[in-house]
Amino acid sequence: MKHISMLVNARDVIARIRPEIYGHFAEHLGRCIYGGIFVGENSPIPNVKGIRKDVIDAFRHIQVPTIRWPGGCFAEEYHWQDGVGPLENRKKMVNINWGAVVEDNSFGTHEYMALCELIGSRPYINGNVGSGTVQEMAEWVEYMTAVGTPLAEQRKANGQAEPWKVPFLGVGNENWGCGGEMTAETYAAEFRRYAAFCREHNGNHLCRIACGPSSADFGWMETVMKAISKGWGGYPLAGGIDLHYYTMPIHPKMDSATQFTDAEHYATMDSAFYCDELLTRHTGIMDRYDPENKVGLIIGEWGCWHEVEPGTNPGFLYQQNAMRDALVAAIHLNIFNRHAKRVMMANLAQTVNVLQAILLTDGDQLVKTPTYYVFDLYKAHQNGAAVYCYTDDEKAAEGYKAPMISSSCSVKDGVMTLTLANCSLTEEAAIDCGVHHFAATEASARILTGDVRAFNDFDHPEDVVIRPFDVTLTGGRLTLTLPPCSVAEVTLR
């Protein structure tokens, strides 16, 4: 057992934790949209407007604040007009990035907006820069948000008289790669044109999001930030910039989601904790071009990318999800909370049946993954004030960089929420935490723990679930013993 000192200070506020930090990402990829989220109104699987009821309930429970759609690389081949209007007239296309399957466009703008409404989440539409045009993206914004224009009339004829609110617009995806193989200079110039023509109709405040770098491409961040942080009127042209960072510890060789060595576990923890350094360095660049903090950092794709499950289509990116993935999620969310001053949104890749999914489906069956339960444990942070939280820097294993404990803390409406992960495979952590400037009289806790390779599947859907957990609060000191490989939420009132 390791003894770990902690300290939280409710007076030392970092920033408000925007709910969108707990955002998700759903692409037309494999069985994410079709089968996973959308089954169509005529399906025997219970649904509302074609959207699975079990998925709606699960998303609502963890308070999904936003879902980025329709991609990913798919967004860069997507033409929105193909996905509106009568189903029988919708154009089919080949989803060239993901398994070359036929996409029938039965899930389009109206179906996506129905999903957002049903789960109470705010739309994040990602437009096509690579193979689209400025006019096409500008018209999509007009179609969704305008009143009294020809495109607004088309929307009305398609069943939606009221304009929608579209708070977030992604201007391209990975334009350094699948989104057009552009240089940072080329993309920056493109972004300025798109930003100018994608207008705010009818009082809709549009946060235009620029394509950010892949991982540690600091040169991309520098060039794009320089170009987007000041428009002609001196104001930033973008409200956000979208960094992508996947946890791939043994890149370029993938590992299995459920069969890995202890060394691979610790390498994965190192890779997850590296996100902290990435955010610090990218924030440093952003601070130089945007000292007033008007452009938010978005981590629009994050999570574990493992080998696909044996026997599944390699283009569908279907992987299992074990306790190790839950730790990766917990580490990232704690890092995002700690960087809440600059981080305005993050989107885990990808909701259902793809990469680090929160839900897996098979026909009418649905399983919640360990990662889903981490979002359940962390949901109280949404809209809270992130506050200072210190933890001893004990290493999880010799020879690795990852600390044993990851943590973050927030305060909202007189309630303090502390989330913790113990990344060690062998050691318990006896935590002694001083709680400063917060007069708590009660403490309760919940925990997710199990073997690092444990997962839920259709035969064993509840092997890894949240359980109650004992903690002690005496005179401003919180004590608890975190088992190895665990994620916990502690609530103080």
Residues labelled as active-site residues: 174, 301
Among 170, 165, 244, which residue's Cα sits nearest to residue 212? 244
Is 173 a residue that touches ligand AHR (CB under 6 A)? yes
Judged by DSSP in three states, 232 sits in coil
With CB under 6 A as the contact rule, the residue among 301, 325, 376, 427 that binds ligand AHR is 301
Region binding ligand AHR by CB under 6 A among candidate stretches 57-65, 68-76, 201-209, 449-457: 68-76
Is 320 a residue that touches ligand AHR (CB under 6 A)? no
Binding to ligand AHR (CB under 6 A): which residues in 453-492? none
Q: Where are the alpha helices (DSSP H) in 290-342?
A: 323-338
Binding to ligand AHR (CB under 6 A): which residues in 354-373? 355
Question: Could you tell me the smallest distance in angstroms from the CB atom of residue 460 to ligand AHR?
Answer: 27
Cβ-closest position to ligand AHR: 72
Alpha carbons 249 and 306: distance in angstroms, whole number:
9
Question: Could you tell me the smallest distance in angstroms from the CB atom of residue 27 to ligand AHR?
Answer: 5
Alpha carbons 75 and 202: distance in angstroms, whole number:
25
Please identify, using beta-carbon distances, which residue of 174 and 276 lies nearer to ligand AHR: 174
Surface-to-core class of residue 86, CB atoms within 10 Å of its CB (0-12 exposed, 13-18 middle, 19+ buried)? exposed
Is 27 a residue that touches ligand AHR (CB under 6 A)? yes
With CB under 6 A as the contact rule, the residue among 138, 349, 358, 377 that binds ligand AHR is 349
Among 109, 107, 95, which residue's Cα sits nearest to residue 29? 95
Region binding ligand AHR by CB under 6 A among candidate stretches 33-41, 65-73, 266-274, 462-470: 65-73
CA distances from 339 to 18, 275, 284, 409 (A): 11, 11, 12, 12
Is 190 a residue that touches ligand AHR (CB under 6 A)? no
Alpha carbons 382 and 433: distance in angstroms, whole number:
23
According to DSSP, the β-strands at 240-247 and 207-214 are: parallel
Question: Could you tell me the smallest distance in angstroms from the CB atom of residue 80 to ligand AHR?
Answer: 17
DSSP label at 215? T
> How many amino acids of this chain bind ligand AHR (CB under 6 A)?
10
Please identify, using beta-carbon distances, which residue of 304 and 448 lies nearer to ligand AHR: 304
Question: Could you tell me the smallest distance in angstroms from the CB atom of residue 236 to ligand AHR?
Answer: 24
Please identify, using beta-carbon distances, which residue of 173 and 407 lies nearer to ligand AHR: 173
Is 242 a residue that touches ligand AHR (CB under 6 A)? no
Question: Could you tell me the smallest distance in angstroms from the CB atom of residue 28 to ligand AHR?
Answer: 9
Question: Beta-carbon neighbour count of residue 5 at 10 Å?
Answer: 12
Please identify, using beta-carbon distances, which residue of 143 and 302 lies nearer to ligand AHR: 302
Question: Could you tell me the smallest distance in angstroms from the CB atom of residue 177 to ligand AHR?
Answer: 7
Binding to ligand AHR (CB under 6 A): which residues in 434-453? none
Surface-to-core class of residue 271, CB atoms within 10 Å of its CB (0-12 exposed, 13-18 middle, 19+ buried)? buried
Question: Could you tell me the smallest distance in angstroms from the CB atom of residue 182 to ligand AHR?
Answer: 14
Question: Could you tell me the smallest distance in angstroms from the CB atom of residue 471 to ligand AHR?
Answer: 37
Write out the H or E segment, with its range, that includes residue 270: helix 262-289
Question: Beta-carbon neighbour count of residue 458 at 10 Å?
Answer: 12
Q: Are 361 and 31 in contact (CB under 8 A)?
A: yes
With CB under 6 A as the contact rule, the residue among 20, 111, 139, 174 that binds ligand AHR is 174
Region binding ligand AHR by CB under 6 A among candidate stretches 138-146, 265-273, 347-355, 418-426: 347-355
Please identify, using beta-carbon distances, which residue of 271 and 410 lies nearer to ligand AHR: 271
Is 249 a residue that touches ligand AHR (CB under 6 A)? no
Please identify, using beta-carbon distances, which residue of 62 and 355 lies nearer to ligand AHR: 355
Q: Which two tokens stand for residue 410?
A: 């927030």
Binding to ligand AHR (CB under 6 A): which residues in 122-161? none
Q: Tokens 């035969």, residue?
A: 459
Question: Could you tell me the smallest distance in angstroms from the CB atom of residue 149 to ligand AHR?
Answer: 31
DSSP label at 91? P
Does the CA dihedral 182-188-189-192 come out positive or negative? positive
Residue type, 341: K
Q: Which two tokens stand for residue 491?
A: 């609530």
Please identify, using beta-carbon distances, which residue of 350 and 486 lies nearer to ligand AHR: 350
Alpha carbons 207 and 199: distance in angstroms, whole number:
10
Is 72 a residue that touches ligand AHR (CB under 6 A)? yes
Please identify, using beta-carbon distances, which residue of 142 and 190 lies nearer to ligand AHR: 190
Q: Are 399 and 269 in contact (CB under 8 A)?
A: no
Q: Which two tokens stand for residue 243?
A: 């960094």
Please identify, using beta-carbon distances, which residue of 31 and 338 lies nearer to ligand AHR: 31
Q: Which two tokens stand for residue 317?
A: 């990116």
Give the interface with ligand AHR as residue ranges (CB under 6 A): 27, 71-73, 173-174, 301, 349-350, 355
